[in-house]
Amino acid sequence: MLLVGYGFILWQVSSLMHQRQQEELQRTSAVHQNAIRTLRLLNDNVTGIPCSQQFRMQMLRVAFLPDGLNEFLYAPDGRVLCSTSQIAFNPPISLGQTDVVIPGPNHISWRIQRNLEPIGLSGAIGSIAQLGNYAVAIPPYAKKAQDLPWLKSELVAVSADKNWHLNGKRGLYAGFKDPQPQTWNARLSTLSSVSCDEYNLHCVASKADLFGWANSAITILASTVVLTALFAWILANNILSWLRNYWSFEARFLRCLNAETIAALYQPIIDLKSDKITAIEVLARWKDVDDTLVSPAKFIDIVAKSGRTAEFTQLIADRAFDELMREPLSDDVLEINFNVFACDFDCQRILKIFSKFLEHSDRFCLAIELIEFHEIDFDKAQATIEALSAHGVRTYIDDFGTGYSSIERVARLAVDGVKLDRSFAMSPPDSIMGRMLVQVIEMVKLSDRSIIVEGVETQARLELLRSTGMVEFVQGYGISPPVNIAAMRKLLADDNPIWKRKARAA
């Protein structure tokens, strides 16, 4: 029985140790992959004269990607001439000798734990990855999870003859590589392990105190003392697991998704020239079993994974149509905007789902917002956009500036406009995203597309957008949060809405 209990402890501790190591290494591998991808983009797509305005704008486009990497350097032969945040370095900054070169077609080189202050990142210590003439500064690796009292770990970067401490308990990795003699008692009471990523660039060394775990999990160990108690615990655990699964959010959502549980909220979009509401975005909500309204952030991935995307869109379209048709909202034709899953972006399917709106073109103009570009075939998408346009349906690129959206995609697709991602408008003015706002607007305007800026929360930001003369429409909490249909009717009927009053006061 003691051997069974000891084996159970080893299994529990080893599993948790391995899980934590893999979580940490997945993070470092993701940074590595992002570095390779962005450096490839720079080498393939930046064609301007080095350090010219065009050159830096091309670098900034890569900096828009939401991967946490935004400080790119032009550094031929390891000498930094300019970067995304600095026009020129005079004299050039030497990055010094490389520490690690990853073999293979990418041939990416790394400089580990360097002082980043010379390249403009004051007080920062981090790594620099380089491919060809371009390099990217990697911020310090913060520890993903706090060590447990009985489990310590250290993240290191390694080369053939050296290692660099990145976070965690210093010295664990060195102790594993150069082990000291241990007593039998120490061998039986501790468990050590090292895991490295696929590039053998980052490793996590861990050391666990088995008795420390046992002390913290005494209630679990007690169930292994008596065989009958063990079977009872297994049975109880299975029952609890079934109950958790049955009442989990995902199971409740899929079980209860129907016309009665779908709710619609509405957020106005105003025309900056007239300060009038000219469009409304329909936002889906779901009523949980306790009548709590749940936002899409919690269930949208479940819908996509379950394959019920068309059913879900039909439910929200029908709910919105029923509420919008109860009485006229406006004397003018209102644009009604819906988000559509990439897998449902097909002309006939969209015409079928939104047929009720299309039958009332005297009151509504249907608009579709496109997301998830990585799942869209662009030739088919262009054909769908043209077919929808022939039926009076407008299309917009949603969340521009994040993920796979880019100027190239705006230029290739005959969409009616672009919705700028809310992260730009909501960022502080002195942040990188805040400073990029006007630059992004200027780039989109070159494509001759209408611009809708989401996430407008302050009067100051609204007036800034108005002053550019390039933004036609805005949307955000500074105008109105998403509201129910009754509140939406009041907003449309108000001749002196709050955004007009604030503009006059400003």
Q: 292 in a domain, yes or no?
A: yes
DSSP-derived secondary structure letter, 393: -
* pLDDT, tens only, 244-279: 888 899 999 999 999 999 999 999 999 998 889 999
- Report residue 24's pLDDT band, with 50, 70 and 90 as the boundaries: confident
Determine the pLDDT at residue 107. Answer: 77
Give me the residue label for tokens 């450096």.
39
> Does 225 score more than 60 pLDDT?
no
* pLDDT, tens only, 437-465: 777 888 888 878 888 988 888 888 888 88
* pLDDT, tens only, 269-306: 999 988 899 999 999 999 999 999 999 999 999 999 99
* pLDDT, tens only, 81-138: 999 888 899 999 999 999 998 877 767 899 998 999 898 888 888 999 999 999 999 8
In the chain, the number of structural domains is 1
The CATH code of the domain that includes 277 is: 3.20.20.450
Highest mean pLDDT among 195-209, 265-279, 402-416: 265-279
Determine the pLDDT at residue 182. Answer: 66
Q: With beta carbons less than 8 A apart as the criterion, state whether 419 and 369 touch.
A: yes
Q: 328 in a domain, yes or no?
A: yes
Give me the residue label for tokens 């709590």.
292
> Does 176 score more than 90 pLDDT?
no
> Does 403 score more than 60 pLDDT?
no
Determine the pLDDT at residue 427. Answer: 72
Determine the pLDDT at residue 189. Answer: 74
> Does 203 score more than 80 pLDDT?
yes
Report the pLDDT averaged over residues 236-249.
Answer: 81
What tokens were used for 145?
């999870």
Least confident of 149-163, 174-188, 315-329, 480-494: 174-188
Tell me the CA distances in angstroms from 239 to 174, 235, 243, 245, 443, one per residue in order.
Answer: 45, 6, 6, 10, 57
What is the residue range of 311's domain?
250-505
Q: With beta carbons less than 8 A apart as the criterion, state whether 203 and 194 touch.
A: yes
Buried b (16+ CB within 10 A) or exposed e, 88-105: ebeebbebeebbbebeee
Displacement of CA 302 from its chain's centroid (Å): 16
Least confident of 91-95, 208-212, 258-262, 499-503: 499-503
Determine the pLDDT at residue 285. Answer: 96
Determine the pLDDT at residue 253. Answer: 94
Determine the pLDDT at residue 390. Answer: 96
* pLDDT, tens only, 38-89: 899 899 889 999 999 999 899 888 888 877 788 899 999 999 999 988 889 9
pLDDT: which is higher, 102 or 235? 102
Q: 96 in a domain, yes or no?
A: no
Alpha-carbon distance of 396 to 454, in angstroms, equals 13
- Report residue 361's pLDDT band, with 50, 70 and 90 as the boundaries: very high
Determine the pLDDT at residue 468. Answer: 84
Q: 315 in a domain, yes or no?
A: yes
Question: Residue 282's beta-bridge partner residues?
Answer: 266
Tell me the CA distances in angstroms from 7 to 10, 210, 317, one per residue in order.
Answer: 5, 11, 56
Q: 329 in a domain, yes or no?
A: yes
- Report residue 475's pLDDT band, with 50, 70 and 90 as the boundaries: very high
Determine the pLDDT at residue 152. Answer: 85
Report the pLDDT averaged over residues 175-187.
Answer: 71
Average pLDDT score over the chain:
84
Q: 101 in a domain, yes or no?
A: no
* pLDDT, tens only, 336-350: 999 999 889 999 999
Least confident of 25-34, 119-128, 141-150, 491-500: 141-150
> Does 422 score more than 80 pLDDT?
no
DSSP-derived secondary structure letter, 483: B
CA torsion 21-26-27-30 (nearest 10°) is 160
Q: What percentage of the chain has pLDDT greater than the value 70?
A: 87
Determine the pLDDT at residue 462. Answer: 86
State yes or no: cis peptide before 149, omega within 30 of 0.
no
Q: With beta carbons less than 8 A apart as the criterion, state whether 135 and 72 touch.
A: yes
- Secondary structure in 3-state letters for 108-124: CEEEEEEECHHHCCCCC
What tokens were used for 398?
């949603």
Alpha-carbon distance of 173 to 180, in angstroms, equals 13
Q: With beta carbons less than 8 A apart as the criterion, state whether 117 and 130 touch.
A: no
Using DSSP's 3-state secondary structure scheme, residue 368 falls into strand
